[in-house]
Amino acid sequence: MQTFWAERTVWSEITQRFPLLQQLFSRRTPAGDGRRPERGPSKGTVITICILISTLLWFTFTLQETYTATLNLPVRVVNLPPDQALAMPPPQVVRVQLRGEGYPLVQLYFNPPTVTLDARQDVVDLTGIDLNLPRGVVVESIVPQVVELRKEPRVTRRLPVELRVVIETPPTHDLLYPPRIDPDSVQVSGAASIVARLAAWPTERMHLREVRDSLSLRVPLADTLRPLVTVVPEAVQLYVRVVPFTEGVRELAVRVTGVPSSQRMVTLEPATVRVRFRVPLFQYEAAMTAPDFFATVPYEVIRADTTGRVRPILHLPDGVVIRDVVMIPPALRYYNVLIQ
């Protein structure tokens, strides 16, 4: 009973100071309707509301006080002549110390103004620059105070694109052809001293894993020299064709070519080699039956040899993609046979 009356007393004091709370939380049943009167809010609800009100009041009065804040303001260059380009990058941000009331400083923190540098000037003095600050906010210091805009004549070159994309396929698949990009060159424009040192323009680094099918992908170009250099276009299209691969094995006879008719006949030991290779699945049959898939040893190689072993030259079939070729044995013995 004492707890109940204590809650009622606290609630009465609060509603006297804030009548609106009496309307929001005191919902009593009109007399004569036969129902019991409703109690006021619980003690926990009252304490929560009090904390919220006190926090709001504290925050309101606190923002009316004067503070000092340091902000990093973004920088933008304007009025750059079309036939000129920056040879050195301007600072990305300017560090400014401001003094003013809390509320406008909070606004500036979440929505900082931009420091505009006029490129028609070689040296820009930031101490007198207009930042369009809210009323009552003043600049106490700014770093750097002076920005030098070094400019050079603008030149334009066309550079090849350097692809920096790593493509990994599972063991059962492989690239049918090297990756292709379109366009394979871009137009680069900037200060003469910068553009002259460039040999190619790289793409962003990407790593594609477990690629099992052909794909077409937009790859952005790197922007490491922005805003000193402009690149057109800003991205290239990457085309990759990935197909299933399988293993094939063929037994090939090795022929000696270029033997003069007046010379002895050359015999190889062994006379055949086993060739193991990887081939696209859709070209497997062509690789196993191609007549232009053979091995030879030139007679001149045998004449110049001093080891007693020669390595056959493998001739791959036209129009068939052959990868990871292993020839067993890798070298053959030879001897001459006198023709009677």
Question: What is the overall mean pLDDT for the chain?
Answer: 84
Which tens digit of pLDDT belongs to each residue from 175-222?
999 999 999 999 999 999 999 999 999 999 999 999 999 999 999 999
> Virtual CA dihedral for 304, 310, 311, 315, nearest 10 degrees?
70
- Higher-pLDDT residue of 223, 278: 278
**Residue 11 pLDDT level (bands cut at 50, 70, 90):** low
Which pLDDT score, from 0 to 100, does residue 283 have? 96
First to last CA, the chain: 134
Residue 294 and residue 80: Cα distance in Å, rounded?
A: 66
Q: Where are the domains of the chain?
A: 2-63, 66-149, 155-240, 246-337
Q: Is the pLDDT of residue 4 over 50?
A: no
Which tens digit of pLDDT belongs to each residue from 179-190?
999 999 999 999
For residue 69, with 0-12 CB atoms within 10 Å meaning exposed, 13-18 middle and 19 or more buried, which class applies?
middle
pTM greater than the 0.85 cutoff: no
Q: Is the pLDDT of residue 280 over 70?
A: yes
Q: Domain 66-149 maps to which CATH number in 3.40.50, 2.170.120, 3.10.620, 2.60.40?
A: 2.170.120
The helix/strand/coil state of 292 is coil
Of 183, 193, 191, nearest to 234 by C-alpha is 183
Q: Is the pLDDT of residue 143 over 80?
A: yes
Which pLDDT score, from 0 to 100, does residue 221 have? 95
Which pLDDT score, from 0 to 100, does residue 2 have? 46
Which pLDDT score, from 0 to 100, does residue 127 have? 85
Q: Is the pLDDT of residue 35 over 60?
A: no
Q: Is the pLDDT of residue 225 over 80?
A: yes
Which pLDDT score, from 0 to 100, does residue 105 have? 78
Which tens digit of pLDDT belongs to each residue from 45-60?
767 777 776 676 565 5
- Percentage helix, strand, coil, to 5, in the chain? 20, 40, 35
- Higher-pLDDT residue of 255, 31: 255
> Fold identical between 155-240 and 246-337?
yes
Which tens digit of pLDDT belongs to each residue from 253-269?
999 888 877 666 788 89
Which pLDDT score, from 0 to 100, does residue 243 have? 96
The helix/strand/coil state of 335 is strand
Q: Does domain 155-240 have CATH number 3.40.50.1370?
A: no
Interval 243-262 mean pLDDT: 90
Which pLDDT score, from 0 to 100, does residue 38 have? 55
Joined together, the tokens standing for residue 46 give: 């009252």
| 144-178: burial string, b at 16+ Cβ within 10 Å, e else | eeebebebbebbeeebebebebebebeeebbbeee
Q: Which residue is associated with the tokens 């056959």?
A: 312
- Higher-pLDDT residue of 14, 229: 229
Interval 146-161 mean pLDDT: 94
Q: Does domain 246-337 have CATH number 2.170.120.30?
A: yes
Interval 269-288 mean pLDDT: 95
58 CB-near residues (< 8 Å, 6+ apart): none
- Higher-pLDDT residue of 81, 43: 81
Residue 217 and residue 236: Cα distance in Å, rounded?
A: 8
Joined together, the tokens standing for residue 43 give: 């003690």
The helix/strand/coil state of 227 is coil
Of 205, 215, 203, nearest to 166 by C-alpha is 205
**Residue 14 pLDDT level (bands cut at 50, 70, 90):** low
Interval 272-288 mean pLDDT: 96
Residue 189 and residue 154: Cα distance in Å, rounded?
A: 7
Q: Is the pLDDT of residue 92 over 70?
A: yes
- Higher-pLDDT residue of 311, 25: 311
